[in-house]
A = this chain, B = another copy of it.
Amino acid sequence: MTNAIVLLSGGLDSTTALAWARKEKQWSCHTIAFDYGQRHRIELQAAAKVSHILGAVKHHEIKLDMRSIGGSALTDSIDVPKDHSDSDAIPITYVPARNLIFLSLAAALAEQVEATRIIIGANIVDYSGYPDCRPAFLNAFETTVNLGTKQGVEKSPMKIEAPLLDMTKEEIIALGLRLGVDYSMTHSCYDPSKDGRSCGHCDSCLFRQQGFFNLGKQDPLTYAS
């Protein structure tokens, strides 16, 4: 039985990646989510729910105070940009070294539960903007983790799996729907209202809405505006 760790934010991409690992690959999965001071902490509830419904062995929530490092609209008091106000540059919602940190913690958990796969929902929608979603980075990380861990050196090496890497948002949603994912339990918004509704205007909401629209499907979420 293949044992896998799935980075699970509770969003559309990571939920689909978990469904792929569980239903398409039939892997035994531990899910890991991070409480890192993000303003959209509501995603943590979504992650726990998604993990349970998709039959993960265990959900691990790691508390990590990245506010003391700072530097992103996702954790600081900087405003989240709305309606694609940003240019082609790396967006202000970039959190310094986030996937490097998250993958490293996932590797630690992988050693503990003897998992040989680490699954991340990175995809082309992200990797234009975020360098830590790009294939070259993921490949280099795989090399590094196998040189720097007991598991990589002594036992079976770890493989970083990014099953959505070449997919557009609508292809990801189509895959998830085919695997029976109920997207009403996911959360994508970077800047939700206090009652938990998605803003409908941040990059994450816009990409999600565009994906459902292009596919001709209804997004089951209700938006604040």
Contact = CB atoms under 8 A, between A and B. Distances in A.
A60 B137 CA distance: 27
A219 interface: no
Contacts of A65: 62-64
A114 to B, nearest CB: 11
Interface string A99-118: 11100110111011000000
Nearest to A147: B137
B104 A97 contact: yes
A55 interface: no
A137 B150 CA distance: 12
Contacts of A105: 69, 97, 101
A59 to B, nearest CB: 11
A195 interface: no
Contact of A97 (B63, B140, B145): B145
Contacts of A104: 97, 100-101, 104
Contacts of A137: 144, 147-148
Q: How large is the interface on A (under 10, 10 to 19, 20 to 34, 35 or more residues)?
A: 35 or more
A140 B144 contact: yes
A154 interface: yes
A224 B121 CA distance: 51
Interface string A123-153: 0000000011010110011011101111111
Given A62-B68, A147-B134, A111 B97 contact: yes
Considering residues A60, A62, A134, A141, which has the most beta carbons from chain B within 10 angstroms of its beta carbon?
A141
Nearest to A152: B131
10 contacts: A62-B69, A63-B68, A69-B105, A71-B112, A90-B153, A97-B149, A131-B148, A140-B140, A140-B148, A141-B144
The 10 residue pairs across chains A and B that have the minimum distance between CB atoms: A137-B148, A96-B108, A97-B108, A96-B111, A140-B144, A132-B148, A137-B147, A101-B104, A100-B104, A97-B107
Interface of A: 60-66, 68-71, 90, 94-101, 104-105, 107-109, 111-112, 131-132, 134, 136-137, 140-141, 143-145, 147-154
